[in-house]
């Protein structure tokens, strides 16, 4: 075995970076849910307005 062998599992910094990138999409998904709900509400209001104008 070579003297400059580095154990890949001993790299704590790389593991922490991996864990930190895995938690970021959860926060983004939470903010995206509000955006989707807001867009659905706006679409429903526009549909109701168009219906009211067409038949009112």
For the chain, domain boundaries:
11-55
Q: State both tokens at 28.
A: 């983004």
With 70 as the cut, is the pLDDT of residue 12 above it? yes
Residue 48: band (very low, low, confident or very high) from pLDDT cuts 50, 70, 90: very high
Outline where 1-56 has alpha helix (H). Answer: 12-55
Among candidate residues 2, 21, 18, 45, the one with its CA nearest the CA of residue 53? 45
Residue written as tokens 């867009």?
39
pLDDT (mean) for 26-31: 64
Is the sign of the CA dihedral 7, 13, 17, 20 positive or negative? positive
CA 40 – CA 46 distance, rounded (Å): 10
pLDDT (mean) for 7-15: 68
Q: Which residue has the higher pLDDT, 24 or 35?
A: 35
pLDDT (mean) for 42-56: 95
């Amino acid at each position: 075995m070579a003297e400059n062998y580095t154990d890949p599992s001993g790299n704590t910094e790389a593991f922490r970076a991996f864990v930190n990138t895995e938690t970021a999409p959860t926060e983004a998904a939470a903010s995206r849910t509000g955006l989707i709900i807001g867009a659905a509400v706006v679409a429903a209001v526009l549909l109701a307005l168009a219906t009211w104008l067409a038949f009112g």
